[in-house]
Structure 1
Amino acid sequence: MSMLARQSILRAAAQGQHLGAAPTNARNMATLREIELRLKSVRNIEKITKSMKMIASTKLAKAQRAMQAGKEYGLANKEVFQHANDKPGARKLFLVVSSDKGLCGGIHSSVSKATRRAIANAPDSPLAAAEATPTIDADSPVMVIGDKSKGQLQRAIGGNMTLTFNQIGRDIPTFADAAGVADLIVKSGVKYDSVVLVYNSFVSALSYEAAVMEVLGEEALKESNGFKAYENEDDDTKDLAEFSLANAIYATLVEGHACEQSARRNAMDNASKNATDMISRLQMQYNRGRQAAITNELVDIITGASAL
């Protein structure tokens, strides 16, 4: 066999051994140094989550006070539209009320799922059990407040989305924010007979649920019996419809903000508890490894002394 052929065979055998062999730095269990670094990382995460929980708790108290004041706007709207009749088969515009911030559990997924069910003409309640993805009505326009729900709905009903809003209600939402959204909706040119707001309803400091609020448009106000009894100019009815939409948006914004702060506080509380449990497990693992290392060193010392 020639020298060149022998070298080729040896090189191939060496490559095979290298591919089949385990890496030299492979370990069956973490070293004490790795456990120590992980403990430090988890402790830092625990400090962050506890701080975020305290901040969310403070903001929740303010958000609840704003929510109680904002609910008055929603109650006034219900009285306005109490005697207005919605036309069957009317074109509905869906407005999803969310936010731009995360780290608050599944609060954004809640309104996204409710929107898909509502657009699909599922049972009257948007919370009805519907596990399968419904067939989306291509004629229903959708507008979204907040980047989080926008990203979720973009994948499912991207063709229905006509307008999105962000940077609204970064702190406590104001009526000026709601009025700006209502003005852009009216000026967008989208045709609708009523606006269906999908938002999170505040149940308690520990729970929330998706809900809907429907605001009828200008034509529904004109056809209602209460308005027919008076002679109103067209501009008055149009202004009242836009003002009622702004009222409803403001009521849902402040309630959704309170739900967001509540969900974030609960999420950070759970994260802090999980970090505490993980720290306990890692600390026990570190102590056992350290004791084992000390025991092995003592055995080596005693064995060497006995040999002498």
Structure 2
Amino acid sequence: MFSRAVRPAVRAGSLAVSRTAPSNAANFATLREIEGRLKSIKNIEKITNTMKVIASTRLTRAQKAMEDSRSYGQTSNTVFENAETKAPEDKKTLLVVASSDKGLCGGIHSGLSKATRRILQEHPEADIVVLGEKAKAQLSRTHPNAIVLSFANVCKDIPNFNDAQAIADQIALLPNEYGSIKIIYNKFLNAQSYEAGTVEAYSEEAITQSPNLSAFETDEETLANLREYALANNLYWALAEGHACEISARRNAMEASITWGFGPEPD
């Protein structure tokens, strides 16, 4: 018990303590806030797991389409290898970057952009055609003047030859005459890894000047069709293989998110 003279001072001190809190006091979450956060985490985990299952299902179909596209592209490229076709050095080079519009698949798009920049160091005069908004946004920051054509809504589903043919037709309408068209795409190694690769399509002039072209029965009309067909073949190959890499990378990103408890790299 305090004396009557001391009681007012004690009462005033207790009020001062209750009104002011130290600046470094911790703000503890309430039980309701913790429950809300746990519920949110569980919902994110369910969504991530669903995306992983969907990607796993789509990967089987994407790999089947990739195998079919390889048979087309490799067959036409075998002709140019046997004919010893080479791009003329006095003509410009066109780079076609086979990206897409979707993210949440790790660094798959940034890898294509880095590979494109490396090639541009060797061919600084080259023009760029970008398939997909992801690589376009990245390359626009460093080489905006080199982009002469771009396509959106690419690879929303499994690519087919008609998609590649439509893109090839638009590329053929570009005003410049290119000696070589290098298609930069993601090369599928296995379900866990991929790397940036390049497949080349040649101009009609380059095909005509091939040293061993006489081994094949061709005429002028056939050469023009061969050039267009080979470009569409290689585009189909690049798009289908890149699509399989994207689905695989997205599945792996979702699996890592579930395992380690953090979201995939936005890319």
| SS of equivalent residue, structure 1 residue 72 | helix
Asked if 1:169 corresponds to 2:169, the answer is no
Quick one: structure 1 residues 230 and 59, their matched pair in 2 at CA, closer, same or farther if it must change by over 3 Å? closer
Q: CA separation of 1:32/1:95 partners in 2, compared to 1, >3 Å: closer, same or farther?
A: same
Distance 1:231 1:69 in 2: 26
Three-state SS of the structure 2 residue aligned to 1:213 is strand
Could you say which residue in structure 2 is the equivalent of 1:52? 51
Q: After alignment, is 70-79 or 103-112 more displaced? A: 70-79
Task: Report what 2:204 is aligned to.
Answer: 218
| Equivalent residues of 1:142, 1:162 under 8 A apart | yes
Deviation at 1:229, TM superposition (A): 6.2
User: Quick check: 1:195 aligned with 2:181?
Assistant: yes
1:102 Cα shift? 0.7
The residue that corresponds to 1:94 in the other structure is: 95
1:104-183 aligned at under 5 Å gives the runs 104-121=105-122, 137=124, 139-183=125-169
Q: Secondary structure at the match of 2:261?
A: helix
**Which has the larger Rg?**
1
Q: Give 1:250 shift.
A: 0.3
Deviation digits for residues 223-276 of structure 1 (CA, Å, limit 9, x no counterpart): 012335678543322221011000000011110000000000000111112339
- Pairing 1:41–2:40 present: yes
**Larger helix share, 1 or 2:** 1
Structure 2 residue aligned with 1:71: 70
Q: Secondary structure at the match of 1:270?
A: helix
Runs of at least 5 residues in structure 2 that lack an aligned partner in the other structure: 1-19, 263-267
CA apart distance, 1:79: 1.0
Whether the 8 Å contact between 2:89 and 2:179 is mirrored in structure 1 is no
One-letter identity of the residue aligned with 2:89: P
Question: How many angstroms apart in 2 are the aligned matches of 1:231 and 1:262?
Answer: 42
Letter in 1 for 2:210: S
The one-letter amino acid of 1:168's match is V
Letter matched to residue 44 of structure 1: N
Say whether the 8 Å CA contact 2:91–2:177 is kept in structure 1. no
8 Å CA contact 1:201–1:209 kept in 2: the answer is: yes
Identity %: 46
State the one-letter code of the partner of 2:251. R
Compared CA separation, residues 229 and 44, structure 1 to 2 (3 A): closer
| C-alpha distance after superposition, 1:211-231 (max 9, x if no partner) | 111111111001012335678
Secondary structure of the residue aligned to 1:197 is strand
Q: 1:201 to 1:52 in 2, by over 3 A?
A: same
Q: Which residue of structure 2 lines up, in the alignment, with residue 132 of structure 1?
A: none
Cα displacement (A) at 1:76: 1.1
Q: Secondary structure at the match of 1:156?
A: coil
Residue type matched to 1:118 in 2?
I
SS in 2 for 1:153: helix
8 Å Cα contact 2:73/2:234 also seen in 1? yes
Q: Deviations over 1:125-181 (max 9, x none)?
A: xxxxxxxxxxx82x2100000111111111011110000011222110000000000
Deviates more, 1:217-226 or 1:94-103: 217-226
Alignment RMSD (CA, Å): 2.1
Distance 2:147 2:105 in 1: 24
1:146 maps to amino acid: G
SS at match of 1:104: coil
2:237 maps to which residue?
251
Query: How many angstroms apart in 2 are the aligned matches of 1:22 and 1:140?
Result: 65
CA contact (8 A) 1:42 1:275 kept: no
Change (3 A) 1:48 1:238: same
User: What is the alpha-carbon distance in structure 2 between the residues aligned to residue 35 and residue 23 of structure 1?
Assistant: 24
Give the SS at the match of 1:99: coil
Q: Secondary structure at the match of 2:129?
A: strand
- TM-score (structure 2 length as normaliser): 0.84
